[in-house]
Amino acid sequence: MKKLIYLASLCLAMSFASCDDFLTVSSPDKMTTDKFWRTQSDAEATLASVYAQLYHGDPYATSEVRWPVEAFRTDLYIFGTDAVNYQTWIDIYNFNYTNGNTQFSYYYQDLYRGINFANQVLEFTPLIPESGITENKRSELMAEAHFMRGYYHLMLLLNWEKIIIRDKYITNEADLNKPLSDRVACWEFVVNELKQGTSLPATRPETEVGRATSGTANAYLGFACLTRAYEESAQEESHLRDALEAINKVQGYELVSGDALINMFNGRNKNCKESVFELQYSLSTDNGAAYYSYVHSWIRVGELGGWDEILPSDVLMKEFKKEGKSSLSGGYDERLYNTVYFQDDFYNDGTGKIYGYDYDEIFWDWRKNKDKEYVDINGNVIKEDELETKGVKDPYDRPNFRRFTPINEEERQMARCAYNIPLMRYANVLLMKAEILNKQGHPELAIPIINEIRAKHGNMPAMTGTTQSEVQAQIEHERIIEFPLESYRWYDLRRWGKLEATLSSRGFVADRHSFYPIPLWEINANSEVK
């Protein structure tokens, strides 16, 4: 029975719709192959289902699967007041999980479901008759499916030490029984799949917004090769060369700044010049579409009317403030203000930057003594009904994320949001390039790249270090403050060999927790996995 359930999950045909032409289609499965695979639109219907697995199943799941799995095990975040109600999240945070943890089990399942849809495209698109598709379009759709299959396998390989290479559309129980592959073989497969995606168009028309481009494929190819260079030290030089070659082919993008940067995370600047790959959302419910989310409530703290799930840690705040108020504007690095609401003159200047209020007008409580009694300015105990006339407001500092939160009061009251989620930005491409060049022994080439990001995003002066170790330290700093809530921190720490030093106080043990265990239901369904 468990095998049948797993098979049904992988072969499930789901209907996905959106305001975009590409997504307003139904997903086929094996049961309807006699009706599908006759025209280009049939292949694109299945590709829509491939992309749909990025959303992890429903409007709630993007945050409730992706962020606990990728963020809560790092040092940059702590629980909000509601997050402590979810034991599976707590277990991830404390490295006390088992292979039955539903959070990463669902993540694993969604990734393989995306792979199986991609396998459908790759298996059946070659069978579409010439009358139904041009050869150029057939090749393009095949390249797109290869990229997405590579992307999903990459996400698996970043989270599990060994994975199953699924390169065949699963139609029966026997197909489920496949062993874990050697990690080197997995890397070879991922790299080859991503390479096939580099033949994709450099740009997309408006009707195809959100679909992968050659820039997307090259960015992830560079990321894969960079990660591999650290793992396979004997081939480090070769992998770094491959990574740099791919990164250099990511063309046509540029850094944005100011409000344009802030608005990448609140729905106001979707698919901008800095966006390389972005998860698309829309409030449209036409044809049953559900490409909206609740991330604006998930991220937002209780004081701002949200669900209070995730907060910046002291580690993140200290890193943001590490260089002091040294920006050219006289404050901290501007990325701090663009990312976090916190107690600072910037948010207490009388202009009401937080929904018409200063920070201290929102984050305050009535002053109390050590006995938790309300007191006036002189410390005299007062009655609760006297608070408005005699009580003293006592502001407190509770840093909370500005990213993915509503831009105004009207949106704050909305039940749903349509904020796109950047998966790969040009800033990441540039910082990866800097890391590659520095690791190749060229810190002098990495420094201008770092300074470009610092100036554009942080309004910060040039970095001061010049040695290879100083440049690497600066890259690590920049990556911390550049990508909060973008789920790169764990992969950065593992790449740099710093997981144990950073997380041992939380119970992390390298040989147990560097990767997630294979989910229990995979073991139960697959006789080749123990």
Pairing mode, if any, of strands 77-79 and 310-312?
antiparallel
The band of 88, judged by pLDDT with boundaries at 50, 70 and 90, is very high
Give pLDDT, residue 33: 60
Is residue 76 within 8 Å of 484, Cβ to Cβ? yes
Question: DSSP of 350-370, one letter per residue?
Answer: SS-TBTTB-HHHHSEEE-B-T
Asked whether residue 417 is domain-assigned, the answer is no
Asked whether residue 172 is domain-assigned, the answer is yes
Q: At what angle do helices 214-231 and 183-197 cross, to 10 degrees?
A: 160
Cα(160)–Cα(493) distance, rounded to whole angstroms?
A: 15
Is residue 190 within 8 Å of 154, Cβ to Cβ? yes
CA 517 to chain centroid: 21
The number of distinct structural domains making up the chain is: 2
Q: Which two tokens stand for residue 461?
A: 């002066």
Residues 279 and 328 placed together within one structural domain of the fold: no
Residue 280 belongs to domain with CATH number: 1.25.40.390
128-133: average pLDDT: 96
21 or 409, greater pLDDT: 409
Is the confidence at residue 4, as pLDDT, over 70? no
Cα(47)–Cα(353) distance, rounded to whole angstroms?
A: 42
Strand partners, 374: 368
| Chosen domain end from 388, 412, 436 | 412
Residues 439 and 462 placed together within one structural domain of the fold: yes
Is the confidence at residue 18, as pLDDT, over 80? no
Burial 143-180, CB ≥16 within 10 A → b, else e: bbbbbbbbbbbbbbbbbbebbbbbeebbbeeeebebeb
Q: Sort 464 into a burial class: Cβ within 10 Å, 0-12 / 13-18 / 19+.
A: exposed
Amino acid at position 30, single letter? K
Residues 443 and 339 placed together within one structural domain of the fold: no
Q: Which two tokens stand for residue 44?
A: 């694109």
Q: Which two tokens stand for residue 528?
A: 């080749």
Asked whether residue 530 is domain-assigned, the answer is no
The band of 285, judged by pLDDT with boundaries at 50, 70 and 90, is confident
Residues 186 and 275 placed together within one structural domain of the fold: yes
Cα(130)–Cα(134) distance, rounded to whole angstroms?
A: 6
Q: Using alpha carbons only, how large is the chain's radius of gyration in Å? A: 24
The band of 22, judged by pLDDT with boundaries at 50, 70 and 90, is very low
Residues 198 and 279 placed together within one structural domain of the fold: yes
Type and span of the H or E element at 26: strand 25-26
Residues 450 and 406 placed together within one structural domain of the fold: no
CA 298 to chain centroid: 15
| Residue-number span of the structural domain to which 332 is assigned | 305-412
Residues 432 and 447 placed together within one structural domain of the fold: yes
Q: Which two tokens stand for residue 111?
A: 């990734």
Residues 484 and 389 placed together within one structural domain of the fold: no
Name the least confident of 3-12, 29-38, 58-67, 397-406: 3-12
Residues 308-340 pLDDT 10s? 999 999 999 999 999 999 999 999 999 999 999
Cα(42)–Cα(119) distance, rounded to whole angstroms?
A: 14
| Chosen domain end from 389, 412, 435 | 412
List the one residue out of 195, 237, 236 whose CA is nearest residue 218: 195
